[in-house]
Amino acid sequence: MYEPNQTPDDRFSHLFGSTPKDVESGYDELRRKLVRFFQSKRVSDPDLLADETIARAVKRVMSGAEVNPNIGAFCHGIAKFVLLEESKKRPSLSIEDTGEPSPAPRPGLNNLESAEFLRDVLGSVPEEDAAVFVEYHQGDRRSLCDRLRTTENALRIRIARIKSKLNEAISPKTRKKN
């Protein structure tokens, strides 16, 4: 619980420590962790989203709401919502969109060759596995789990196995191109 004479800024700073040095190092560490979290989710601007997360945390504290004294856990919860909002803004990628540049084209291949390469590789696994793999990477994993009547962990294992098969199929194809 906070002391009654603390200002909202003091309340937020107090979550990092009691000395200015503790506050500064705590803030820096929190920001680095948030940036790494967003980088692991492959968002376009992890620094911006980390700053947005911290701004929301400050706003929440300043509104007088009680917050988890573990500032890292508190901000991680907010970061999940920021990520959810960001993912809704991002357009889904489609394999069928051969006219659009791919996010990371293979060196030496044009867009049409990349799309053909992707279709070849996905054609090396059963059609259902290819469809599950694509849908998994396009978005709503919860609805995919519901549709397949499986758990998230079982789905991740299935995707890892499909990915392994795809990697096996990629190796001979990339040797032919070089």
pLDDT in tens, 96-119: 433 444 455 445 445 556 677 777
Residue 91 tokens read as 């357009």
Instruction: Give the mean model confidence (pLDDT) for residues 131-151.
Output: 85
- The pLDDT tens digits for 12-57 are 666 666 677 777 777 788 889 999 998 888 888 889 999 898 888 8
Residue 74's pLDDT is what? 82
pLDDT of residue 166 exceeding 60? yes
Distance separating alpha carbons of residues 150 and 136, to the nearest angstrom = 13
Are 105 and 114 in contact by the 8 Å Cβ rule? The answer is yes
Report the pLDDT averaged over residues 145-170: 88
Dihedral Cα 140, 141, 142, 145, nearest 10 deg = 130
- Quick count: other Cβ atoms within 10 Å of Cβ 39? 13
Is 1's pLDDT higher than 50?
A: no
CA distances from 10 to 4, 7, 23, 121 (A): 11, 5, 10, 56
More confident residue, 152 or 116: 152
Question: What is the tens place of the pLDDT at every residue in 54-84?
Answer: 888 888 877 777 776 677 888 888 899 898 8
| Residue 18, C-beta contacts closer than 8 angstroms, at least 6 positions apart | none
CA atoms within 13 A on the CB side of 92: 11
Query: Is 2's pLDDT higher than 50?
Result: no
The pLDDT of 7-13, averaged and rounded, is: 56
pLDDT for res 29: 87
> Taking the C-alpha atoms of 109, 124, 155 and 133 in order, what is their torsion angle to the nearest 10 degrees?
40
Q: Over 70: is that where the pLDDT of 7 sits?
A: no
pLDDT of residue 149: 92
